[in-house]
Amino acid sequence: MAFRTARNLAYFSNYIRNYSTNGPLVNVTVNEKSGFATATLQRPSVNSLNLELLTEISHTLQQLEKNKCRGLILTSASNKVFSAGLDLFELHKPNADKIKQMWSTLQEVWIKLYGSSYPTVAVVNGHAPAGGCMLALSCEYRVMLNNFIIGLNEAQIGFSAPMWLIDGMRNTIGSRQAEFALTAGTLFKTEEALKIGLVDEVAQSKEEAIEKAEKFLNKFAKIPPHARSMTKAALRGANIQALVRNKDEEVRSYVDFVTDSQFQDSLGEFIELNLKQKLSK
């Protein structure tokens, strides 16, 4: 068992509390009774994933793994947006080195979250397009609040989601639905997402969503953690290994793609059409 004694649990809780004070973009708390950690993304205003937020998420996941976390709930401090995905302003006219780091850190986040040994739930308490959906898909279970959207809309912005993310979508909603959704870049309303299995449960409030998330995590209370994590690794390992083998090559090809003028033009159009904040000319 991860926490055999109350002392171990107290040590872990203190550790996490101390750690959380170091991370302005991700707040981590631990429920002392259950031992479940809640990581709350809090980059104003929409948790768009820039290098700093991605780095902090990656570091948080590393600490949780090291401290034998018993379960993770990933959520947002905003009551409107879970995460708006990659920071589109950072992808526009970018510095190639920064994009390289950003892409490689995004891969790390996916590897650590998708491949975590502990159980994970996303409490999707706001919109979750693209990278926001990626974070939710990496978790084992998704509870979403009503009246929001979720999906992989990369095609609408002018690129394809990477293979590991396509596989994640396919494993969750099936090949046929994934093909429809990805080629059209569909963003699903909560109820639609529930219908196709992109989310597992709907909740009316964040409190209810957290309760449902804890109920899911509690299902594993009597399962030996090593058996659970070995089984998860057996199910998810091949996807992770495929990315690990191709990591550097994928970074190179995305950097080339993102810095190309054709992509920059279509990104510029997307921002002008869809975001309130406009580009400085």
Ligand X SMILES: CCCCCC/C=C\CC(=O)SCCNC(=O)CCNC(=O)[C@H](O)C(C)(C)COP(=O)(O)OP(=O)(O)OC[C@H]1O[C@@H](n2cnc3c(N)ncnc32)[C@H](O)[C@@H]1OP(=O)(O)O
Min dist CB 154 to ligand X, Å, is: 5
Q: What does the alpha-carbon distance between residue 33 and residue 31 come to, in Å, rounded to a whole number?
A: 6
Enumerate the β-bridge partners of residue 143.
123, 201
Residue 276 within binding range of ligand X, rule CB under 6 A: yes
Q: Between 69 and 111, whose beta carbon lies closer to ligand X?
A: 111
Q: Between 9 and 181, whose beta carbon lies closer to ligand X?
A: 181
Residue 81 within binding range of ligand X, rule CB under 6 A: yes
Q: What does the alpha-carbon distance between residue 203 and residue 1 come to, in Å, rounded to a whole number?
A: 31
One residue of 16, 41, 88, 124 binding ligand X per CB under 6 A: 88
Residue 127 within binding range of ligand X, rule CB under 6 A: yes
Min dist CB 196 to ligand X, Å, is: 19
Min dist CB 231 to ligand X, Å, is: 27
Min dist CB 44 to ligand X, Å, is: 9
Give the length of the chain.
Answer: 281
Find the binding residues for ligand X in span 46-65 (CB under 6 A).
46, 48
Residue 93 within binding range of ligand X, rule CB under 6 A: no
Residue 84 within binding range of ligand X, rule CB under 6 A: yes
How many residues contact ligand X, by CB under 6 A?
30
Provide the H-helix boundaries in the chain: 6-22, 51-66, 88-91, 96-114, 131-138, 154-157, 163-173, 175-184, 190-196, 206-218, 225-259, 261-274
Neighbour-count burial of 276, counting CB atoms closer than 10 A to its CB (0-12 exposed, 13-18 middle, 19+ buried): exposed
Binding string, residues 236-265; x marks residues near ligand X by CB under 6 A: ------------------x---x-------
Catalytic residue at 31? no
Q: Judge whether 273 and 153 are in contact, CB under 8 Å.
A: no
Q: Which stretch binds ligand X (CB under 6 A): 67-75, 126-134, 216-224, 243-251?
A: 126-134
Residue 111 within binding range of ligand X, rule CB under 6 A: no
Catalytic residue at 153? yes
One residue of 16, 122, 130, 210 binding ligand X per CB under 6 A: 130
User: Between the CA of residue 180 and those of 129, 170, 198, what are the distances in Å?
Assistant: 16, 11, 13
> Who contacts 64 (Cβ-Cβ below 8 Å, separation ≥6)?
28, 37, 39, 72, 116, 118
Reference 83, options 37, 30, 138, 31; nearest CA is 138
Residue 32, both tokens? 């002392």
* Residue 160 DSSP label: P
Residue 277 within binding range of ligand X, rule CB under 6 A: yes
In degrees and rounded to multiples of 5, residue 116 shows phi and psi of: -60, 150
Catalytic residue at 246? no
Catalytic residue at 168? no
Q: What angle do CA 111, 115, 116 make, to 5 degrees?
A: 115
Residue 218, both tokens? 């509690």
Residue 122 within binding range of ligand X, rule CB under 6 A: no
Residue 173 within binding range of ligand X, rule CB under 6 A: no
One residue of 162, 169, 188, 243 binding ligand X per CB under 6 A: 162
Name the residues annotated as catalytic.
Answer: 86, 131, 153-154
Residues forming the site for ligand X (CB under 6 A): 45-46, 48, 80-81, 84-89, 103, 127, 129-131, 134, 153-154, 157, 159, 161-162, 165, 254, 258, 274-277
